[in-house]
Structure 1
Amino acid sequence: MNVETGKLQPGEARCPAISTQDIIAADKVPAPDWVRSEDYEYLGSEDVSKDRYISADFARREMESMWTRTWQFACREEHIPEAGDYYVYDIGPYSFIVTRTDDGSIKAHFNACLHRGTKLKPSGTAGYAADLKCPFHGWTWNLDGTNKKVLCPWDFPHADPDKLTLPEARVETLGGFVWINMDSEAPALLDYLGAKAVEHIDAWQMENRYIYCHVQKSYPANWKLTVEAFMEAYHVLDTHPQVAPSNADANSQYDVYGEHVNRFISCLGVLSPHLEGKFNEQQILDQFTIGDSSVLSDDRPMVGDGTARQAMADMFRGMFEQATNSDLSNVSDSELLDCFSYTIFPNTYLFPGISLPMVYRFRPDPKDHRRCIYEVMFLRPVPKDGPRPDPAEPIILRDDQSFTEAEGMDPGFGKILDQDTDNLYAQQEGLEASAKSGITLGNYQEIRIRHFERAIDKYVAMPPKVPSR
C-alpha cells in the first residue's frame, strides 16, 4: 500500500472475504508449511495480444522455438514398467517412442526410420516390442537405439551401422511421470521446475498412484486458450454455478514459482463470497453431498454444531481410509479436501489432491492451430496388496460427445468439463471477431495466465531450435 495516499498498489487487491490461508488455518488437522505458503508476484497489467491465439504464424514460432526447448510429460512410468514396453508421444510434427530398455533405463527415440523416414510405431499406440522394426523395409533397432539390422547390407556400404543409432530426446522422471526434452542444452528438469515446486511434487507422492480413467477430446480452441480456461476460479460463478455454494472461488489463492510452475488453492466446503448469506452450513454440505454436483452419496450427512467444511473433511478421511486401508489421521484437512492445481509449463496440470487427483495434458492440433487435444487422467492410490494395476486405455470422444459419456467419468465432473467446452468455442470465435487487439487480465485472479503467457513470449522470442541428438 502507498503510505502517502493509502491506496493499494497494483497487484495488492484481494477479495474482501476470508482468505484461503485463514480458511486452512481454522482446520482441525493442520496443513504442512508448503500448503501454508504464498508466492504471488505482480507481473504487470498490460493487455495480452490476441494474435497468439489466432495466428498460424505464432503457432509456427511456438513449435520451432518453444516446444523444442521445454520439458513435457510424455507418459507415466506405469505405461512402460518392463523392458520392451513402449508409449508413443506426439507433439506437433514430432513423435517419440518412449521405451524401457533391457537395463531398465528409459529412452525417448525420435519415431522415424533412418532409411526413408517411415514411422517405426503408429501415433497413439502403446505396447510391447522386443526391438524397433520399420514396417516398410525392415530396418531394425535395439531398444537402446543402436542399429540391429539393415536389410541387404551389401547395398549400403556407405551406411555405417555404428552411426545409425536412433536420435533421442532427453528423459528424466519425477513423481512417476516421464518427462522429455528435445534440447540437449536445456536445464535439468529439477532446475527447470525449481526447488519449491519439486518440494511440493515430492510431498504428494504421485509415484504411488496409477491412471484408472483416461479421457481425450479435441477442443475447438487454440491450445493456450484451453490451458488458461483452468487457471482461475474467476469463471466459476457464471460457468459452473452448481458448484459455487461449496467452493471458495473469488478468494482462491494464486502462486507463481520461477518461470515454469504456478499454483492455485481453491478451498472446498466453503461458500463462494458471491453468495454470502444465501446458504447456511447445512445447505453447503447438502449441495456438495446430495445436490446436482454431488461427488459422494445419496445419504444426508449432518453438520451439527460444526461447519460444512469440517464435516466434509471428516467424511473424506473416513471414506479414503476405508478405500485405501490406510491411516490418514495426520493428513491435513486441506490436502484431503481442497483443489490444488499446479501448471507445469508448457502443457501439464497436476491436481494432486486426495479428493480428486488427476492430470491434464494439452497439445496443439498439428493440422489446425485453432484446435487442440485435451486429455484428463484420473489417478488412484496403488493398492497395498497385489500387483500394480495397468493404466487405463484412453477413451477418445468425438466433438459432439459429452464428457459424461466416458466410462469411469463422474457425471458431475463431466458436466463441468462440458461447460468449459462451450466457453472455449465461444472464446475462440469471439477473439477472431473482436475489434480489440488483446485480452485484459485481472492482476491477482488471472496471474497464472499472465505468468504462462510471459513464458510463451520468452520462448517465442528465441531463434528456432532444431532438435538435437
Structure 2
Amino acid sequence: MNVETGPLRPGEARHPAESTQDIIARDRNTAPGWARDVSYTYLGSEDVSKERYTRAEFADGEFARLWPRTWQMACREDHIPEVGDYYVYDLGSYSFIVVRSAEDEIKAHYNACLHRGTKLKPSATEGFAMNLRCPFHGWTWNLDGTLADIPEKWDFAHTRTRRMCLPQARVARLGGFVWVNMDPAAPSLEDYLGPEALAHLTAWKLEDRYIYLHVQKSYPANWKLTMEAFMEAYHVGDTHPQVAPANGDVNSQYDVYGEHVDRFISTLGVVSPKLRERYSEADIIANFTLGDSSALGGARPELKEGERARQVMADMFREMFESASDTDLSHVSDTELLDTYSYTFFPNLFLFPGISLPMIYRFRPDARDHRRTIYEVMFMRPKPRSGDFETAEVQVLQDHQSFAEAQGMDPGFGRILDQDTDNLHAQQEGLEASAKAGLTLADYQEIRVRHFEQTVDRYMAMPPFSAKLEDLQP
C-alpha cells in the first residue's frame, strides 16, 4: 500500500513507486526464496531517547548488561586454520583468546592470567602458540584451557583444591564464523538468530568465502550512531548523490526477523524514484561505467531499444564475475549479482551476502570513550578450488585518512564509505547540543534503527551480568 491511497494506519505507508519485490520479479534469473521474503513489523512511532548516545553511564550499562549476554562474531574460522592458531577478540575491556585447541575444536579463553591478571596475549593480535603462557611469571595453560604449569609450585599448595582452568566464553560456529557469548545461560546461537534468519545465513554458504581485504578505522561517535548510519537507504539522495541515478533508494525494502536480525534490500540498475524525470535507462549504464567508481572496469555496453539497463547490468556482472572466479554463475539470480542485501545481526555485525560486493561490517565501542567507535570493513570473495588463499590482515587507518587510501580498496567505494561516516561527528555533537530529547524516526524506512534500539532497551532492562568463576571453567 502506498502513500497515495488515502488514510493509512501507522507503518502502512510506502513510496508510491514500484516496490523492491516488483523490481526483482521482472528479473530474468529468478530470485531465491530468502530474497523474495517480506517481513516488516510496525514497532511504534515514539521518539528514541538521545541519552543512549550521549551519556557515559548508558555505555557503562551496556558493558554490564548487553555485551556479556549477546552472540558476537569474533573471527572467521580461516583466521585460525591450524591447531595452535589464535586470534584475540577485544570488546571494550573484555578480551578473549580464540584458539583452535584441536583439529575440530575451538575455545574462547578469557585473556587474563589466573595468577595476577596479566593479559596472556596482547590485544588485537593473532598468531600461533603451543600453549598459553603468561609473560610475567610464566604460569602456563594448555590450548584447551587446562593448567599445564605453575613455576615454583611448592609455594602455591593452596591452589591444589581449586579449579585452575582458564575461564571460557561459549563458542559456536556458523557460516564460517566463530561466535562467542559470555553468558552460560544464553540461548544457543541458532535460537538467538531464529529460524528465518538462520535459513538465510545457511543458504548463503559464506563458509565458502574468505576475507581478502580488511580495513579498520575509529570514529568520534557512539557505536550505535555509527551502526545506524548504515541501516537505511533514506540518506542516499543527500549523502551519496553520485549513485542516485542507478539506485532504488526510497523504495528499498525493510524486514525484521525476531529480536536480533533485520535487513534492507536496495536495488541497483534502476533510477531513484525521486529522479525519474531527469534520468533515462541509458543514464543508468553511464552511471555504472563512468569515472573511477565504475563497477565494470571501463566497459560500456550498448543499450538496445526496449532493453532494461538492470538486465544488461546483471548479464555483464555475471560474465565479469565468472571470468574473475572461474565459476559458473548461470544459476545465480540477478538480484544476488546486483542488489545490496544488508543484514544486521545484533549487537554489532552487518552481513552483505551478495555476489558483487560481499562484505562484513563490525562495530565495537571504545571502553575509554563512549563517543568513539571502532569500525571494520571486510570484503569477501569465493575460495579458489585449489584451496590456496590467504586471509587478509587488518589495515588500520588514522582519523584523517580516507577509506580510499587503504591498499586494495576501490577508490569509488572508499569515498562512499567516507560519505557514510563524514556525518557522524556532526551528529554526535548535534545530539549533545540539541534541545530535543530524542530522535524522530520514519515508521518504515528507519525501522531497522527502531528495532535495533528496542533490542538495546530489552537488554538494558536486565540486571548486570554476573557469573561464578566455576561456571566459566570447563
| TM bracket (short chain) | over 0.9
Structure 1 position 107 matched with structure 2 position 144: no
**1:242 partner SS:** helix
Structure 1 position 363 matched with structure 2 position 364: yes
**Residue 316 of structure 2 aligns to which amino acid in structure 1?**
M
Given that 1:295 and 1:412 are in contact with CA atoms closer than 8 Å, whether structure 2 keeps it comes out as no
Offset of 1:295 from its aligned partner? Answer: 2.3
Give the structure 1 partner of residue 380 of structure 2.
379
Offset of 1:390 from its aligned partner? Answer: 2.1
Cα separation, 1, equivalents of 2:242 and 2:160: 64
Given that 1:268 and 1:337 are in contact with CA atoms closer than 8 Å, whether structure 2 keeps it comes out as yes
Give the structure 2 partner of residue 132 of structure 1.
132
Q: Which runs of 5+ in 1 are unaligned?
A: none
Structure 1 position 176 matched with structure 2 position 176: yes
Offset of 1:6 from its aligned partner? Answer: 5.2
**Residue 265 of structure 1 aligns to which amino acid in structure 2?**
I
**Residue 345 of structure 2 aligns to which amino acid in structure 1?**
I
Deviations 1:206-236 (A, max 9, x none): 0000000000000110000001000000000
Cα separation, 2, equivalents of 1:377 and 1:172: 20
**Residue 280 of structure 1 aligns to which amino acid in structure 2?**
S
Given that 1:287 and 1:293 are in contact with CA atoms closer than 8 Å, whether structure 2 keeps it comes out as no
Give the structure 2 partner of residue 87 of structure 1.
87
**2:455 partner SS:** helix
Cα separation, 1, equivalents of 2:106 and 2:370: 31
Give the structure 1 partner of residue 272 of structure 2.
272
Give the structure 2 partner of residue 263 of structure 1.
263
Cα separation, 2, equivalents of 1:399 and 1:103: 40
Offset of 1:117 from its aligned partner? Answer: 0.1
Structure 1 position 141 matched with structure 2 position 141: yes
Given that 1:361 and 1:375 are in contact with CA atoms closer than 8 Å, whether structure 2 keeps it comes out as yes
Offset of 1:51 from its aligned partner? Answer: 0.1
Identity %: 67
Matches within 5 A, 1:447-458: 447-458=447-458
Give the structure 1 partner of residue 327 of structure 2.
326
The alignment of Structure 1 onto Structure 2 pairs a total of residues equal to 465
With normalisation by structure 2, the TM-score equals 0.96
Q: Which runs of 5+ in 2 are unaligned?
A: none
Matches within 5 A, 1:5-44: 7-44=7-44
Offset of 1:160 from its aligned partner? Answer: 2.1
**Residue 188 of structure 1 aligns to which amino acid in structure 2?**
S
Dislocated runs of 4+, deviation >6 Å: none
Cα separation, 1, equivalents of 2:356 and 2:284: 17
Cα separation, 1, equivalents of 2:249 and 2:11: 18
Q: CA RMSD in A?
A: 1.2
Matches within 5 A, 1:43-54: 43-54=43-54
Given that 1:147 and 1:161 are in contact with CA atoms closer than 8 Å, whether structure 2 keeps it comes out as no
**2:74 partner SS:** strand
Structure 1 position 247 matched with structure 2 position 247: yes
**Residue 86 of structure 1 aligns to which amino acid in structure 2?**
Y
**2:377 partner SS:** strand
Cα separation, 2, equivalents of 1:335 and 1:299: 21
Offset of 1:103 from its aligned partner? Answer: 4.5
**2:297 partner SS:** coil
Give the structure 2 partner of residue 337 of structure 1.
338
Offset of 1:386 from its aligned partner? Answer: 4.1
Matches within 5 A, 1:398-413: 398-413=398-413
Deviations 1:369-398 (A, max 9, x none): 0011000000010001242x1210100000
**Residue 381 of structure 2 aligns to which amino acid in structure 1?**
R
Give the structure 2 partner of residue 71 of structure 1.
71
Cα separation, 2, equivalents of 1:418 and 1:79: 27
Given that 1:32 and 1:332 are in contact with CA atoms closer than 8 Å, whether structure 2 keeps it comes out as yes
Offset of 1:298 from its aligned partner? Answer: 1.5
Cα separation, 1, equivalents of 2:190 and 2:56: 32
Given that 2:211 and 2:392 are in contact with CA atoms closer than 8 Å, whether structure 1 keeps it comes out as yes
With normalisation by structure 1, the TM-score equals 0.98
Given that 2:342 and 2:352 are in contact with CA atoms closer than 8 Å, whether structure 1 keeps it comes out as yes
Deviations 1:329-372 (A, max 9, x none): 11110011100000000000000100000100000011100011
Structure 1 position 59 matched with structure 2 position 67: no
Out of 99-108 and 395-404, give the one that drifted further: 99-108
Offset of 1:296 from its aligned partner? Answer: 2.1
Cα separation, 2, equivalents of 1:6 and 1:24: 27
Cα separation, 1, equivalents of 2:162 and 2:179: 27
Cα separation, 1, equivalents of 2:367 and 2:243: 35
